[in-house]
Amino acid sequence: MIICQNLIKEFGTADNIFRAVNDVSFRIEKGEFAALIGASGSGKSTLMNMIGLIDMPTKGSILLDGEETSPMSEKQRAALRWGKIGYVFQSFYLEEAYTVSQNIEMALLISGTEAPERKKRIDECLEQVGLLHKKEALASSLSGGEKQRCCIARAIANRPKLLLADEPCGNLDSENTEKIMELLTQLNRQGTTVLLITHDLEDAKRASHIITLKDGSVISDEK
Amino acid sequence: MFLFYWAILFLLLTGTIAVLEMNQKIPDMLEQPLHDMYADRIIIYLEDAGIMKEVLGDFSYQTEFCGNRNGFWLDNLSVFQGNDEFWGIQGLILLNHSLPDSSQLSEFNKSIMDGELCSSQKGGLWISEVMQKQSGFSCGDTLAFCLNDGTEVCDLTILGVFAEGDRAPHYYISEDVYQAYARFAPEDSLAITIIPEVFRDIFQMVSVLREQGLEFIYSEEAINALSMAFILFSAIVAVLLISLFSILTHLLQFYYNKRRRFFAVNAALGLDSRSTAKILILTAECLVLSALTAAFIAALFYVNAIRQYTGDLFEITAKNSFYSLSTILITLITVQADVALVLYTFFRRNKRINIIDVIREN
């Protein structure tokens, strides 16, 4: 599903270059539940942004489902983002003034889904994450755990093959953490490849493939 | 904040439309004869009046002359052929103050013989007051010219009698304006409002005509005020449109900054930069068009109020309250051009944001 080859990401000016990702290579198979763990500043979020086609590597290549992503145009990358990738953020990034269903609908509008199909899909996603009863509630009225579930529902709305979860439990208590992790595990069982970014080893243990980063480099890659 | 900017936009556009509309209407208002309001005088607006003829009006009786009928031979006359369609005057102007120039006489004969003026609907004669005194002819009289020793006759009606001075610049009044004057046959006075460039020449004419016993009314203040109004209104419109550009730019930037997270998250969900641009363009257009529609409605009230005021001040009749096509077109085209320029400047200045920037900011 994901093949990263000699990835390098540098920031800064010519006089002052900082290398956030340093020659990283690994492979994640289709249907795997993989975890990328490391301390703060180890480069895991940067790596995830590159895999999610939000950022471009300075050097190296990323193959997504067999497709080389580096030469792709901005439009092609955008199409892949709504077509094959779902993104779950640590800070949720929901539109607080919108309802739960409207937040999910945003993803479906971007992919060009027709109105009848959108309604049906919203209900399916909300049922899957256990938020159907909160369909018309404003996002601002949700608890932390509910917001993250809403975020997951938005991420799976377009039936992505790959789900990227960037510290999804970073702002949640243990009870909600357990619920979210269970949800991700369930999605993985249904066939979605899940790549989890976390600094918590306990969360990472749910994964079948653990990649450990330190100072931008892979120090271990265990399956 | 967004509503505040919209309100500013609305006020700006209202002012622009009202001023533009007034600017379009002033020449029309000045040209319109005031026979409805003032039975004994009209106001004639003379545009770019480089050359005019002084005209007196007196409609009384008919006579005719020809070699075979009662009349006299024209002699000692100079001919000025006034066949300038641009000035709206068609006909012959006979000056009777100098010995005829043989070339002028032959020109006169040629015109008559060609039948050009005789066949023209607007063909006519303008005669000098000296000739009038000598012959007793007046406006409205028809003179028959004999051609080819009397075998052909050409009838020309005297359209006006003009005052001759010391060869000062001559002035024409357009035929249709004159006809409007003639139709209402004012008895006492003639009022003429003109642009300042020819004011001094008209003043001279006015002085000459005053000597003929005709009363003239004019206002230098009104003339200057109207000229200033043109310049001022045009300057106001220009300032308003430049301000519109500045406000729109700020507004769009404000909106974009407020919605950075929205655009960034949606970019992560798959919204490409072209779609983002479409959203921004649509937002700008909705904002401007809504303010413009409201402004067109509001400006109607201002325009009517201004017309009422100027009507009282300059004695001008107010017309119906409909926008002229030129006002609508100028406003729409200029506002759209402004929006296009704003969007172009905006997209050049703002690079595409993504979720990474938002995450780093937070």
The predicted-structure confidence for B166-224, as pLDDT tens digits, reads as follows 333 233 344 444 444 444 434 434 444 444 445 455 555 555 555 555 444 455 555 55
Residues A45 and A108 in one domain: no
Of residues A52 and B149, more confidence is placed in A52
pLDDT for B14 equals: 81
pLDDT for B139 equals: 59
Contact criterion met (CB < 8 Å) for A74 and B273 = yes
End of a domain among A127, A159, A191? A159
Residues A194 and A148 in one domain: no
Residues A144 and A177 in one domain: no
Residue closest to B156 by CA, chosen among B119, B103, B104:
B119
pTM, two decimals, is: 0.59
B contact test, residue of A54, A109, A151, A152 with most B CBs within 10 A: A54
Residues A56 and A37 in one domain: yes
Chain B residues with CB within 8 Å of chain A CB: 261-262, 264-275, 354-356, 358-359, 362
End of a domain among A159, A181, A212? A159
Of residues B29 and A93, more confidence is placed in A93
Contact A86, A163 (CB under 8 A): yes
| A148 pLDDT more than 70 | yes
Residues A177 and A197 in one domain: yes
**What is the full DSSP assignment across B43-54?**
EEEETT-SSB--
Residues A137 and A180 in one domain: no
pLDDT for B332 equals: 86
| A111 pLDDT more than 70 | yes
B contact test, residue of A55, A93, A151 with most B CBs within 10 A: A93
| B152 pLDDT more than 80 | no
Q: For chain B, what's the residue count?
A: 362
Mark B4-39 as b/e (b = at least 16 C-beta within 10 Å): ebbebbbebbbbbbbbbbbbbbbeebbbbbbeeebe
The predicted-structure confidence for A191-221, as pLDDT tens digits, reads as follows 999 999 988 888 888 888 999 988 888 888 8
Two tokens, residue B302:
């201002």
Tell whether ipTM is more than 0.90: no
Residues A123 and A76 in one domain: no
End of a domain among A110, A134, A159? A159
Structural domain of A150: 92-159
The predicted-structure confidence for A17-69, as pLDDT tens digits, reads as follows 888 888 899 899 999 999 999 888 888 888 888 898 888 888 899 998 888 88
Quote the CA–CA distance of B250 and B245 in Å, as a whole number: 9
Residues A98 and A3 in one domain: no
Residue closest to A30 by CA, chosen among A193, A210, A194:
A193
Give percent above pLDDT 90 in chain B: 0
Of residues B54 and B143, more confidence is placed in B143
Contact criterion met (CB < 8 Å) for A78 and B267 = yes
Residues A62 and A109 in one domain: no
List the CATH number of the domain containing A184.
3.40.50.300
Using a CB-CB cut-off of 8 Å, the residues of chain A touching B275 are 78, 110
Q: For chain A, what's the residue count?
A: 223
**What is the full DSSP assignment across A20-64?**
EEEEEEEEE-TT-EEEEE--TTSSHHHHHHHHTTSS--SEEEEEE
Residues A63 and A169 in one domain: yes
Task: For residue B188, give the H/E element and its range.
Answer: none
Residues A78 and A1 in one domain: yes
Using a CB-CB cut-off of 8 Å, the residues of chain A touching B358 are 93
Residues A59 and A25 in one domain: yes
- Tally of domains within chain A: 2
* Of the listed ranges A86-90, A100-104, A111-115, B166-170, the one predicted with least confidence: B166-170
Contact criterion met (CB < 8 Å) for B270 and A89 = no
**Helix residue ranges, H only, B47-196:** 102-114, 116-119, 129-135, 175-184
A contact test, residue of B259, B265, B275, B360 with most A CBs within 10 A: B265
